[in-house]
Structure 1
Amino acid sequence: MDKEQAEGRRATWVPGAVIVGAGPSGLAAAACLKARGVPATVLERSDSLAFTWRHRMYDRLALHLPKRFCELPLLPFSDKYPTYPSKKQFLFYMEEYAAKAGITPRFGASVEEAAFDASVGAWIVRLAGGEVLMAKWLVVATGENAEPHIPEFPGMSQFGGRVMHTCDYKSGEEFAGKKVLVVGCGNSGMEVSLDLCRYGAKPSMVVRNTVHVLPREMLRLSTFGIAMALLKWFPVQLVDRLLLAAAHLVLGDTGQLGLRRPKTGPIELKNLTGKTPVLDVGTLDHIKSGKIKVVGAVKEVTRRGARLADGKEEQQFDAIILATGYRSNVPSWLKDGGDVFTREGTPKARFPNCWKGRNGLYTVGFSQRGLLGASSDALSVAIDIHCQWRERERPTKNVFQVNNSV
């Protein structure tokens, strides 16, 4: 925006908070605020709520944790739902959540820039198309998984088959009978490899680093639930040792399958780095049977396959699927988040203290604790904003001239 445009642009004052993102985090923040009488305007760049879940997740996805650990504030899952709701069931829950809370996001509202204007003590939010909003509080709820991370391997452009990120993968049906290289061994890489097997494909899974693999359940109880219960009584290191001993009994030595474990235990590693352990839902059995081949890190891609870091060459692949995760998009539009976010758009503080910044800036869904962490953030944000809301007069709709320095 040039000087003349900036001087002539007016911003519409938005009472309450502006929330960027209409996924689970944004909806939870809006619902918690509304329950306390604080209005919120939810901005969503796509045409639907929970866009990532709806359009970027594979069809067979189900929640990895029991539903009681994944429900959002104020609305538990229905008893009719299974312990691990499917993608379709979770989307229905999101729709129901928004409807019951009376949340109506503004779809197609893409934020190009948000910056704090100290001269008026408010956030200036510029949308694509030229609209400008002004609000006392800004809640960043775009999440840690806003944009797919697509690594650049040497030679990728010469590969003769199809290359895709898991955000575009829906089902293994289209790969039936084909040989597929799956790059990544996290929960997505493991489950995509399993799904490919179910359709008769022949996946090879790239394992670049060490990884903790735990059974999703032990003795018919959620492994995550067992860990949470033990942590109430015992230190993290002891709980990690107990989990790994139990995992060895249930799964065997994963190192013999090419899945070496980190030296740091799964819970401690999660607390330190945010790296989530893989919860096995059947992939290991297919690795043991040879239906899924484990290979090392990729050094470069060739016309028909890949050359690995150990010098081996894998050939005759029909497709490469990148299960390489996602990244935050916050650095591309938030201009005054330095006290909260790193240059990569990740939180500087650790859970549970990463939800609040300066000048009325808040975050939900960046705690690296999944839906449970997003719910905790949303409650904290709503309580904090509500305390300020009660202390000041309820603002009326007005129009302000935007400071040219923003």
Structure 2
Amino acid sequence: MAPEDIQAISTDWLKGIEVASSMGDVMSFVDHFLSDGWFRDLLCFSWDHRTLSGLENIRRFLSEVVDGKSRLEYSSLRDFKIDDHTINAPSPFKLPGSQGIEGIQGAFTFSITNPAALGRGFFRLAQDSDGKWKALTLFTNMQDLIGYEESLGNQHGLYEGRKITWEEDVDAKFRAIEADPTVLIIGGGQTGLMCAARLRMLGIRTLVIEKDARVGDCWRQRYPNLTLHTPAYQSSILYSPYPTNFPKYIPKGKFANFLESYAVDQELCIWLSSTITSIPIYESSSATWTVEVQRGEQKVILNPKHLVLATGSGGPHIPTWSGMDGFQGALYHSDFHKDAEQFRGKRVIVVGAGNASGDICQDFVAHGAAEVTLVQRNATCVVSSAAMEKTRFRPLYPNNTPIEEVDFRSNSMPLAFLLQVTKSGGIEHMKMLDKELHDGLRKAGFNLTWEVSPGSGEVGIEGFLFSRFGSRTMLDIGCGELIIEGRVKVKQGQDIGHFDKDGITFKDGSKLSADVIVLATGNEPVMKTARALLGDEITDRLLPPEVWGLDSEGELNQVFRPSGHPGLWFAMGPFGTARFLSKHLGLQILARELGIA
């Protein structure tokens, strides 16, 4: 299709939907969608994240009454303009899968009347049976509240009258934050730090508390051979790309040091070696929390208006089997794996078949363990790093492309629709690329799956990420080859019977003897961490069933959106999720502080 035709079709469709929006005409607005179209809205029509599929659901949502008007009329999106100046200018697209859906996609900008805000959208148009161009997907996204846009700070580095230095300015800001933080972030890992950086740019006083002695210790303290499993260009931190000479897969220590420098560079106010010592109390009348923090030897009472839990994926999940106390070798969870060298020449069992299991098996092989056996309790979704690079990472993140533009386009896709496309054959190319790896793993007795549950459809690694936070997946960076070569043996162990002094006995009577058993059995649900921190009364008010996973519409449960309890937020997820949705967390908090939410 010629560029001028793409432009004309995009402009014509956009003009039509703008007229419908400005007039508050719900039926006309909905008529611009295909019958099976999807609409994803982040904060433009409600202070939440919503995904609607099908004309009736879209119509019902936009018809809901807000202050005596329909949502469409109340929000009153206007001033639609094609975004011609970025990589997201109108262009052709074709989705993978058996349906072979293709059409035209592109970004546009608009303004929002209530509240006064600026927005940006993304459309994917396809032809209906009559040849008319209509929306397969439409994304509307709040960018900024007018008058409260992200501040670039003092870009000159010169202070009024040169009476103060940069150091004095930062110190004064830190003292103001510590005296009266609006937001308290619990957890100083990459997600907590990105949220703090975003909130700072929105002018919101934010204090981070971190239990460890240094920023980055949550990575330094993990197993020695850990690297990021996603490439650096996809895993960058908000506002701060990695140096161009960084390795493609960043080692944990280097990444930890980068986080430490990031906290300094972004001027984040952080209390280290600090923990909450009692259950926080929420005062409805003042809409504030009372939080007691142990900061080193000092106890401090804080009264923030918002708590953000950025505590990661929960503590180690340690199953219990009879006889574990009687095992005479070393037994520990993968979170506590430190030194494979001390077990050189020993027999090792690793229970679990995900990313941590693969890394730790590699570590033991590299350090001369006599025998390494991986016990697989459930089938695993295995994708090689090379296949991910060819099908997911590099196509989405081309060289020299602003990552903000990539994040915007990626998040414009409704998650439930993405899984629907994947189920229709969207992972076939990836599976083909990994055919030799998968055939070798099966031959070695390793069970594979691409379904989160039997018969639910092949959703691949994205489906496991959205529903299980990546549990039961392995992004293979070398363990697969060790399994195929027989240097890591595989034992199917759905039915572990009991432990004894020498190892593990299975219910079928078979036995594995070992000197070391590592439980690479994942982490506890975030809600369990929240309950331990917040107590039953607060946790029972949170939206069920769990933090993370997809709700009935296909949005992530509670993450970067209302939790069910006022002033309480959850922040977690992969790098791209935190980079993008940290803005939406900030806008929701800012709107509440302005009294317009």
Normalising by structure 1, we get a TM-score of: 0.84
Structure 1 pair 123–319 and aligned structure 2 pair: CA distance change class (3 A): same
Whole-Å separation in 2 of the counterparts to 1:38 and 1:211: 43
Distance 1:143 1:341, change over 3 A: farther
TM-score (norm 2): 0.58
1:215 aligns with 2:384: yes
Residue 279 of structure 1 pairs with residue 480 of structure 2: no
With 122-131 and 274-283 compared, the bigger mean Cα shift is at 122-131
User: 1:309: which partner in 2?
Assistant: 507
Deviation per residue, 1:36-57 (Å, 9 max, x gap): 21110111222222332121x1
Question: In structure 2, how many angstroms separate the alpha carbons of the residues matched to 1:245 and 1:345?
Answer: 34
Q: Give SS of 1:221's match.
A: helix
1:145-195 CA distance string (max 9 Å, x none): 3x2222212100111111122222123211111101111111000110011
CA RMSD, 1 decimal? 2.7
Distance 2:391 2:310 in 1: 28
SS in 1 for 2:280: strand
- 1:94 is aligned to 259
Kindly indicate whether the alpha-carbon contact (under 8 Å) linking 1:255 and 1:261 is maintained by their aligned counterparts in 2. Answer: yes
**Match for residue 380 of structure 1?**
584
Q: Which residue of 2 aligns with 1:364?
A: 571
1:182-331 alignment, distance < 5 Å: 182-201=350-369, 202-218=371-387, 221-225=389-393, 235-237=421-423, 238-262=425-449, 264=451, 265=458, 266=460, 267-276=462-471, 277-297=473-493, 298-315=496-513, 317-327=514-524, 328=526, 329-331=529-531
* Cα-to-partner distance string for 1:104-132 (whole Å, 9 max, x where unaligned): 31122211322321122112223347532
Seq. identity, %? 24
Specify which of 534, 559, 562 is matched with residue 334 of structure 1: 534
Uncovered stretches (5+) of structure 2, i.e. residues with no partner: 1-177, 398-408, 452-457
The 2-side partners of 1:227 and 1:308 are apart by 45
Q: Deviations over 1:37-86 (max 9, x none)?
A: 1110111222222332121x111111100112211211111111011111
Distance 1:290 1:249, change over 3 A: closer
Measured after TM superposition, the shift of residue 377 of structure 1 is 3.2
After TM superposition, give the deviation of residue 320 of structure 1 in Å. 0.9
Asked if 1:139 corresponds to 2:305, the answer is: no
Q: How far off its partner does 1:241 sit?
A: 2.7
Contact 1:213–1:278 (8 Å) recurs in 2: yes
C-alpha distance in 2 between matches for 1:290 and 1:93: 37
In 2: Cα distance, 1:390 partner to 1:24 partner: 28
- Deviation, 1:345, is 6.1
1:354/1:363 Cα in 2 relative to 1: closer, same or farther (>3 Å)?
Answer: same
Q: For 1:267-310, what per-residue CA distance to the aligned partner results, in whole angstroms no more than 9, with x for missing partners? A: 33433333352111111221122111111222211110111233
**C-alpha distance in 1, partners of 2:586/2:269?**
18
| Contact 1:65 1:222 (8 Å CA) reproduced | no
1:6 match = none
Mean alpha-carbon deviation: is it higher for 225-234 or for 149-158? 225-234
1:139 partner SS: strand
Give secondary structure in 1 for the equivalent of 2:246: coil
One of 556, 573, 576 as aligned partner of 1:351:
556
Aligned length: 374
Q: Give the whole-Å Cα distance in 2 for the aligned partners of 1:74 and 1:353.
A: 25
Q: 1:226-250: CA deviations, max 9, x gaps?
A: 6858987972222223322322245
Q: What corresponds to 2:187 in structure 1? A: 21
Q: Once the 2 structures are TM-superposed, how far is the Cα of residue 263 of structure 1 from its aligned partner?
A: 5.2
Q: Which is greater in Rg?
A: 2
The residue type equivalent to 1:331 in the other structure is: R
CA gap of 1:134–1:372, structure 2 versus 1, over 3 A, is same
**Offset, 1:136:** 1.2
Aligned position for 1:403: none
How far apart are the structure 1 equivalents of 2:531 and 2:225? 32
Pick from 323, 329, 350 the counterpart of residue 155 of structure 1.
323
1:158–1:352 distance in 2 versus 1, CA, 3 Å: closer
Q: Measured at CA, do residues 224 and 26 of structure 1 come closer, stay the same or move farther in structure 2, by a change above 3 Å?
A: same
1:119 aligns with 2:285: yes
**3-state DSSP of counterpart to 1:320:** strand
Task: Give the direction of change, closer, same or farther, for the CA distance of 1:227–1:164 in structure 2 (3 Å limit).
Answer: farther
Contact 1:21 / 1:141 at 8 angstroms: preserved in 2?
yes
Contact kept? 2:548, 2:556, Cα under 8 Å = no
Compute the displacement of 1:360 (Å).
Answer: 2.2
Task: Indicate the larger mover: 274-283 or 78-87.
Answer: 274-283
Verify the 8 A CA contact 2:467 2:548 in the aligned structure 1.
no
Name the structure 1 match of 2:223. Answer: 58
Q: Does the CA contact (< 8 Å) of 2:503 and 2:512 recur in 1? A: yes
Question: Please, which of 50, 57, 71 is the counterpart of residue 236 of structure 2?
Answer: 71
Equivalent of residue 177 in structure 1, options 328, 333, 345: 345
| Structure 1, unaligned runs of 5 or more | 1-11, 393-406
Q: 1:361 to 1:312 in 2, by over 3 A?
A: same
Contact in 2 for aligned 1:73/1:379 (Cα 8 Å): no
Sort the Cα spacing of 1:82 and 1:370 in 2 relative to 1 into closer, same or farther, 3 A: same
Checking the alignment, whether the CA contact within 8 Å between 2:183 and 2:308 is kept in structure 1 is yes
